[in-house]
Structure 1
Amino acid sequence: MLAAHAGAMTDLAHAIDVLGGIATRQQLLAIGFTGADLTRAVRGGGIWRVRQARYASPTAHIDRVAAARVGGLLAGPSAAATYGLWAGLDPRLHISVGRNSARLRTNVAPSFSDRMTLSPDSSGRPIVLHWIGGGAVPERGPECWRTSFEQCLRQTVAWCDTETAVACLDTALAVANCSPARIFEIFSPASASDRLTASLCRQGSDSGSESLVRQRLDRLGIRYRQQVEVASVGRVDFGLIGTRIVIEVDSWRYHGDRIAFERDRRRDAELVARGYTVIRLTYQRIMNDWPWCERMILAALAAGR
């Protein structure tokens, strides 16, 4: 009997993981578990009850636990990160709650955080609550811990600076199988200013950092093409029109990847051998020292390379 209970707890934790690490009681009952299963799993430590009728698996990300404990959904840029989109540098956790929500808890209980490995970007993050009409947690899913993809995009554009918002949409076009027509449709009910921001997104940026460079080149009035194919080298991130200047952008994932480092040094050498000037911009430079990046680009243009 004990073995059977242990198996049930494992199955229950796995079911919650499939739902994103957080599940409502109604979701779990709908897929065949009973109230007794839930009680037994909580008492046995196989899952955690983070709020009335809200359960987390032991591997749930702490941001999702925080949203569930508050009684809301990860929203805006915080939800964007979970969809694999650019979320900007806002350290706060954005959580949407229904206008009539009550008994909100804006912290993660020590009993949960003590059992979790907190990453530096998750531990002690301030929480921002957004009170939204119709923003109640969906009890039957499909997900009870984040806003829908469409809501996430609209919220990010409404709440974030233009550069962050456009970069989020650029990455939606690149990694989320989202077309420009779909973006137009998603923003059709939005305000005129948000529709204008959404119209600035473009295909071609494979990462948020590439989108930031694209937008900043636009502001400088520099003409370019993205994802340019160079014979025997492959695609480069930016080719400045009328020049042999190439800009390559390293995303944040690049840091510490020795194989990628060696591959890109080889690409750079191949480009130089073919008469190109290569400007490689690291994530840290783009985010923390854009004036330096701008000087390098303008100097290369002034030199007529």
Structure 2
Amino acid sequence: MKIDGIYHQRTLRAQGVARAELLRRTAHGEHRTVRPWYVTDAAPTDLLALLELGLRPTCLDAASLHGVWTPPHTGVHVFRPRMLRLPPELEDVRELPLRRGRMNGTGKRPLQRLVLHGPELRSWPDDDPVPDLGLVLEHAARCLPTVKAAELMESSLQRRLIGRGQLEQLLLRLPKDIRRPLSRVRGDAESGTETAVRWWFESRGIGVKTQVRFPYDARRVDLLVGRNWIIECDSREFHDDPLSYAEDRARDLYLESIGYRVTRLTWEQVFLHWPDTRRKLQTILSRGDHRHELRRSARSG
């Protein structure tokens, strides 16, 4: 994946940029060298911090750069080829500013520890500063809990960043114990929140339908659990749209009026307070309300 402000020396040579011109640009401060890169002021500073160590982002952090939805996490996931060895004085360097982090009280971004991924290649596969999405997702599958890797894969499919055939080829490269559960990955999940909740229900053998349409309603609901339990999953960390709020509640009232139970889960409930949310969902499941038959009017629409 190419990044504005970062250019590999081989790429510039292939474009016909002469060495003398590169030296002129360096002398005039138009770029600087971070071997084998030439970088300008447009380059992301956090990515440069990795490249200066001979590392590239992967897993969650590279997926975010590709435009994949990613869950909250700590640590900066990085990759180095097998032949690269960090200098001894850098082996203990495990903290870097994190782009996705919020400013703290001092006006600085919080520091995050590096998560070094085991090498899979003897050298970089290309001249881009961010690895190909296929390699990024493969690293994620080997690194993350299954549901977290599934969130990245489902987001990649839904956003058309990777095709189903490409994903199947990726899965074939994984060990069977990793590949088997990830075969459930779908391409219609519209948020990572939805993926996380659906996988939790499915792991308990509960039937879940996704993106279900109802009569007289142009929009789809996220999840239909059992016969009559609708779950809507907010995909945003912050919710400040009064119009959407009103529309959602009017829709909930309609669905309740035709016999469905409606539960809305926020981003915070799923990713910041999941143990408590999970216990409450399990309590509702234990009552068995989702197995009740709907009234005839609800079934017929």
TM-score w.r.t. structure 2 length?
A: 0.78
**SS state of the match for residue 220, structure 2?**
strand
- Which amino acid is the alignment partner of residue 7 of structure 2? A
Q: 1:42 to 1:118 in 2, by over 3 A?
A: farther
Give yes or no for contact 1:71–1:137 (8 Å, CA) kept in 2: no
Which residue in 2 is equivalent to 1:186?
Answer: 170
Q: Alpha-carbon deviations, 1:18-41, whole Å to 9, x = none?
A: 644422112122224333443344
What is the aligned counterpart of 1:162 among 143, 146, 152? 146
Which residue in 1 is equivalent to 2:55?
Answer: 72
1-side partners of 2:242 and 2:5: how far apart?
32
Give the alignment's Cα RMSD to 1 decimal: 3.3
Which residue in 1 is equivalent to 2:102?
Answer: 120
2-side partners of 1:150 and 1:62: how far apart?
24
Q: Alpha-carbon deviations, 1:170-211, whole Å to 9, x = none?
A: 222211354444322112222222222421322331121111
Identity of aligned residues (%): 23
State the shift of 1:125 in Å.
2.2
2-side partners of 1:267 and 1:59: how far apart?
45
- Which amino acid is the alignment partner of residue 58 of structure 1? D
Give yes or no for contact 2:117–2:139 (8 Å, CA) kept in 1: no
Give yes or no for contact 1:74–1:94 (8 Å, CA) kept in 2: yes
2-side partners of 1:130 and 1:253: how far apart?
28
The correspondence of residues 17-166 of structure 1 with structure 2, limited to 5 A, is: 19-49=3-33, 51-102=34-85, 119-120=101-102, 123-137=110-124, 141=127, 143=128, 145-166=129-150
Q: 1:162 to 1:194 in 2, by over 3 A?
A: same
Which residue in 2 is equivalent to 1:242?
Answer: 227
Asked if 1:218 corresponds to 2:202, the answer is: yes
Q: 1:118 to 1:148 in 2, by over 3 A?
A: closer
Residue correspondences, number = 280
Structure 1 unaligned segments of length 5 or more: list them. 1-16
The correspondence of residues 271-286 of structure 1 with structure 2, limited to 5 A, is: 271-286=255-270
1-side partners of 2:148 and 2:99: how far apart?
29
State the shift of 1:247 in Å.
0.7
Asked if 1:173 corresponds to 2:157, the answer is: yes
**SS state of the match for residue 95, structure 1?**
strand
Q: 1:265 to 1:39 in 2, by over 3 A?
A: farther
TM-score w.r.t. structure 1 length?
A: 0.77
- Which amino acid is the alignment partner of residue 279 of structure 1? T
Bigger Cα displacement from structure 2, 205-214 vs 123-132: 123-132
2-side partners of 1:58 and 1:91: how far apart?
27
Which residue in 2 is equivalent to 1:289?
Answer: 273
